Structure 1
Amino acid sequence: MKNNIFPCLWFDRTGNEAAQFYTDIFGGKITVDTPVVINFELFGQRMMILNAGPQFEKNASVSFMVLCETPEEVEKYWKPLADGGIVLMELGEYPWSKKYGWVRDKYGVTWQVYLGEKMGEQKIVPTLMYIHGNNGKAMEAMELYTKIFPGSKIGGVLKYGDGVGNETHEVQENVQHAHFEIDGYSFFCMDNSYDHQFDFNEGISIVVMTDDQEETDHLWNSLIAGGGRASMCGWLKDKFGMSWQIVPKKLIELMNDSDPYKSQKVMQAMSGMQKIVITDLEEAYLS
């Protein structure tokens, strides 16, 4: 698995213990452990935590579907995730799965534990919920993302009118559940008409590691087009309000330099940027 695309979770001082919690449950490992940045792997998939303060709270607009192969595996993950958390849908049998539950764990991360088919190598699949002004736009979002990213495709699409666990209050042409890939990384998505008290925010973002400035420019400009908004340090919001971090691999290389003075100069240069410009980072490194 390339791990060039992965989710980033925003925490307020509890990120280190949360990373340990997740790696204990799923059998993963912590690969970077600092006071601010924690990287960990679950089933070979990279995930990132920022211990960045109280500004943003994670919510169920982005949840993580765990694809399990046996009922026992569902139970194994469900019990610790639900302990101290909030159950959103009780663990049980549903039209779409013989064993399924939806839970917000004690750290505010939302999980859907699902008995069903695995998506190739990827066992944990970020699931995007299109609500409020975005309701009905799941298909548009999939079409946009798969157009922007290479190696992308839209997979199965189930609409509310297709008769599987049909919700009478939902628009029949809206997406009940769909799968798409960007650069080989799987996502699920859905429309939802319920008036939830949350929406996409910076609490959960998607990081994309780029190879060069051309790729950085393409992704930045394409994602921000049509109503998106630039933020700082490589962060942006697309037209649907979803947060992305477009990060050149060169930035990580320069920031990991053994000379702390040089890495600090790179950090200072990056902190003043919106879109990250590699030549400006290199100039700061050499100055």
Structure 2
Amino acid sequence: MQKIRTFLWFDGQAQEAAEFYVSVIGGDSRILDVARYPQESPDEVGKVMTVEFRLAGQEYVALNGGPQFSFTEAISLSVDCEDQAEVDRLWAALTADGGEESRCGWLKDKYGLSWQIVPRGMTEVFSDPDRARAERAMKAMMGMRKLDLQAVRDA
């Protein structure tokens, strides 16, 4: 078990969300454990309480905590994508069924969790020693929803 894990609060969809994330991210991703509410708990006995899962080697815990809290853009999961095909695949999957596109590679999935879908190589473009080129790249990215590394490089 890793020392620090991200804990995500859901209103009844913890297992559904974890299974969705595992299916979308793939690779070293899987459900690790499902715990159910016991007697004397604040929720229905036997209902899924927490789901421990791994996404690309990183561990998370999803809690069915109720409607008291919801996700905000103040925290997001950033995915380092190998190529544009991976960006396109993840973007389509995570915005499907009620997800929402935002700007500059950000989106919210159907559960309200924010993600950054970033093609590998973006940071190098912005640290280009040719400052005018880096500024053009930044301007191009600021006009995008889903990121397109080649279009940013061509700017």
Unaligned runs of 5+ in 1: 1-118
Q: 1:138 aligns with which of 3, 6, 14?
A: 14
Structure 2 residue 62 is the aligned partner of structure 1 residue 181: no
Matches within 5 A, 1:74-85: none
SS class of match (1:136): coil
Question: Whole-Å Cα distance in 2 between the matches of residues 225 and 277 of structure 1?
Answer: 19
Question: Whole-Å Cα distance in 1 between the matches of residues 101 and 45 of structure 2?
Answer: 34
Q: Report 1 or 2 for greater relative contact order, CA contacts < 8 Å, sequence distance ≥ 6.
A: 2
Q: 1:174, CA displacement in angstroms?
A: 3.0
Question: Whole-Å Cα distance in 2 between the matches of residues 174 and 192 of structure 1?
Answer: 11
SS class of match (2:51): strand
SS class of match (1:225): helix
Q: 1:175, CA displacement in angstroms?
A: 2.5
Question: Whole-Å Cα distance in 1 between the matches of residues 131 and 105 of structure 2?
Answer: 22
Query: 1 or 2, which has the higher strand percentage?
Result: 1
SS class of match (2:89): helix
After superposing on structure 2, the runs of 4+ consecutive aligned residues of structure 1 that deviate more than 6 Å are: none
Q: 1:282, CA displacement in angstroms?
A: 1.8
The aligned residue for residue 255 of structure 1 is 126
The aligned residue for residue 72 of structure 2 is 201
Please, what is the CA RMSD of the aligned residues? 1.3
Q: 1:178, CA displacement in angstroms?
A: 2.1
State the identity as a percent: 38
The aligned residue for residue 34 of structure 2 is 157
Question: Whole-Å Cα distance in 2 between the matches of residues 173 and 280 of structure 1?
Answer: 51
The aligned residue for residue 242 of structure 1 is 113
SS class of match (1:206): strand
SS class of match (1:186): strand
Question: Whole-Å Cα distance in 1 between the matches of residues 73 and 12 of structure 2?
Answer: 22
Query: 1 or 2, which has the higher helix percentage?
Result: 2
Q: 1:260, CA displacement in angstroms?
A: 1.0
The aligned residue for residue 138 of structure 2 is 267
The aligned residue for residue 127 of structure 1 is 7
TM (norm. structure 1) is 0.52
AA partner of residue 254 (structure 1): V
Unaligned runs of 5+ in 2: none
The aligned residue for residue 84 of structure 1 is none
After superposition, the C-alpha distances for 1:164-200 in whole angstroms (9 at most, x for unaligned) are xx41x4133432222100111110111013x52x310
TM (norm. structure 2) is 0.93
After superposition, the C-alpha distances for 1:121-140 in whole angstroms (9 at most, x for unaligned) are x321000011xxxx211000
SS class of match (2:140): helix
Question: Whole-Å Cα distance in 1 between the matches of residues 94 and 47 of structure 2?
Answer: 23
Structure 2 residue 45 is the aligned partner of structure 1 residue 172: yes
Tell me if the contact between 2:50 and 2:63 (Cα under 8 Å) persists in the aligned partners. Answer: yes
Structure 2 residue 93 is the aligned partner of structure 1 residue 222: yes
Question: Whole-Å Cα distance in 2 between the matches of residues 205 and 275 of structure 1?
Answer: 15
Question: Whole-Å Cα distance in 2 between the matches of residues 147 and 269 of structure 1?
Answer: 32
Question: Whole-Å Cα distance in 2 between the matches of residues 228 and 219 of structure 1?
Answer: 12
